[in-house]
Chains A and B, each alone.
Chain A
Amino acid sequence: MTLRRFLQSCSAAVRLIAASLLAAALPQVVHAETIKVGVIGPYSGPFALYGKNFKLGIEAYVAANGKKAGPHTVEFVYKDLDGPNPSKAKALAQELIVKDRVQYLAGTYFTPNALAIAPLLEEAKVPLVVLNAGTSSITQKSPFIVRTSFTMWQNTVPGAKAAYKMGSRKVAIAVSDYGPGADVEAAFKQTFTAAGGTVVATIRMPLNTTDFAPIMQRIKAAGADTIFAFLPSGPATLGFVKSYIDNGMRASGIKLFSTGDLVQEPDLKALGSDAMGIMSTYHYASSNTSPSNKRFIDQYKKVGGDFDELTMAAVAAYDGAHLLYTMIKATGGKQDPARAIESVKGFKWNSPRGEVSIDPATRHIRQTIYLRTVDTRDGKLINREIEAFPDQPDYGFPAN
């Protein structure tokens, strides 16, 4: 060690001691700090719509509640990750933790990215607020994860109950062939057969399927009276619905049920009147008429959001920001992940989607799942909520 280095560290130590003495002398003064939050999401590429929703949802919350959580200024740092890419997700999280010194992480649109970040959290003492990735097991991977979005099980179980109640007895399940699709299939089958219905066909469709005609033929051949479908939001949902109509399925009286992913509001315009009457179960519809949703949409528009591009991702981000602010206040701005997570367990609030709470056991959001049908309002296609299933847990979590 050179002399200069030694002197430097001495003076640093002296300053540190002086600072802590000062802090001890003035115990009642709370230090206002800048707390950084790293938000990883798809801000470019094919899923950019949802990254944009993350950002606008957070900005809407900040616009409504100010930049400060208590005395502390909250600063959001956005990192772009355009697809499911575990190694890059991990690298970005490490960069945020080490270089940007974030106290919280949020975001993760895709399940593999959330799973890749999970092992870092305990060592780095950083909580993660998942704003989308909907695989049930994610919150099990670390005690420092809480989630404000949904799980496939949470949305599907009420769907199966509703389908049975509305007279469906023989259902063909058609899902995209990847993790969430398998979840939907399992959740529907279990709930629907328990209610007394029969599943006459289970079809897993490759993610890159573009022509759904043979799948419709199979469903017809199986003698189903209802299709329950899940495809991730995107161009394929359009092909699926068109195929359902054009192959005469609707005309022959076969009903189409799905999770809300098939009829996301930004896709409805392209589906056009074909979409009318499609039933779905989901946790959020932008057409929800509650005052809290109206307030949220006003803020969302104020920060530059387009109503036609509003999805559940913005609401998850808005509520995620609410949790972050709550945790920052509860810990007094200190890096104390255990206390932060403890402070939101069982936490209840009024979200744009209705009454919600964080389940203390699963750290996943309990929320109302709505049965909706595609309908028009003021000449625009919307998902009209016709029935509510309040306080739904994550049925996919082992304890449930």
Chain B
Amino acid sequence: VNTAISVAIDAVAYGMILFVICIGLSVTMSLMRVINLAHGAFAMLGGYFASILIISYEINFFASIALAIGATVLVAMPLEWILYRRLYARSDPLMQVVMTVGIVFLIIGIINFLFGPTVKSIPLPHVISGPVDIGVRTIPAHRLFVIGSGLAIFGALWFLLEHTAYGVRLRAAVENSAMAAALGVRTKRMYATAFALSVALGAFGGIAGAELLPMEPYYALRYIVTFLVVVSVGGAGSIRGALLASLLLGSVDTVARYLVPDFGASFFYLAVIAIVLCFPNGLLGREHM
């Protein structure tokens, strides 16, 4: 029983890390209808900014997270102005894929040139590093931090989108941007803020998940398949779906890796195939996506 509880804790922790990294992508794909393959690149920018701030400028970890998210949004917003704005809602998916993949390679090249090909660390402060004894077993303190922040993000997003005037306008702008504009919603501004939000979530995910997915120039490309899988299993357009998918896939992966590691990632992808067969729109996805 102890082992079962122990594996379950690992499963939840891993699922939450997936959620924290993927939720930003879910927001772009569902709310903006943009297949943003550059999500990983923004997460990586966040991680690099945090790494530089903490190591070279010796700024406090939590302050660095805030600054790094801000810096990433600052870098990403001109891209929204110049490039993404043209792609919202109506353009075909191939255009989106080609453009965002281009951005990925651009960012990989720049990061590689500036910081070199080696792995960069994001040192954790004492409070959230090392093992913590929680009775049944020891668990990395960092995992508790991620579980906490994942739940906080989930709650905040749900409240923002479902229970504020901003959320109503944003959803209106996505459903029917012409009608929303006719009713006085500034759709362009709506889109820009939603984009900033998803980039900020991506940057935070990059920093928080760096213990498992360390920063190096090819980060932007290496994990994008996993991100896309989680988002499509959860169902684009659903925050709850993304959480459910992260926890489910995290559990399948963790349990399979504990019981039958030799089978590699096959159980993860078998689960993905099964879910997508039963729920073509993702677990909690909406029909029209």
Contact = CB atoms under 8 A, between A and B. Distances in A.
Contacts of A272: 121, 123
A269 to B, nearest CB: 7
Interface stretch (A14-22, A144-152, A215-223, A345-353): A215-223
Contacts of A251: 131, 138
Nearest to A264: B118
Interface string A320-343: 000000000000000000000000
A204 interface: yes
B262 A270 contact: no
A220 B118 CA distance: 31
A309 B119 CA distance: 11
Interface string B211-239: 11110111100110000000000000000
Contacts of B118: 49, 266-267, 269-270, 308-309
Interface of B: 3, 6-7, 10, 13-14, 17, 112, 116-121, 123, 129-131, 138-143, 211-214, 216-219, 222-223, 253-255, 257-258, 261-262, 264-265
A203 B261 contact: yes
B3 to A, nearest CB: 6
A214 B214 contact: no
12 contacts: A48-B117, A49-B117, A177-B261, A209-B257, A214-B255, A217-B3, A235-B216, A235-B222, A238-B119, A246-B143, A246-B211, A270-B120
B121 A270 contact: yes
Contacts of B143: 213, 246
Given A242-B211, A251-B131, A309-B116, A214 B254 contact: yes
Contact of B261 (A205, A242, A269, A271): A205
A239 B143 CA distance: 13
Given A213-B14, A235-B216, A269-B121, A206 B211 contact: no
A204 B3 contact: no
Interface string A348-377: 000000000000000000000000000000
Given A211-B253, A272-B123, A217 B212 contact: no
Contacts of A213: 10, 13-14, 140, 143, 254
A239 B140 CA distance: 12
Most A CB atoms within 10 A — which of B7, B119, B142, B143? B119
Interface in A170-224: 177, 203-206, 208-211, 213-215, 217-218, 221
Given A242-B211, A246-B140, A218 B117 contact: no
Contacts of B117: 46, 48-49, 52, 309
Contacts of B130: 245-246
A248 B10 contact: no
A214 B10 contact: yes
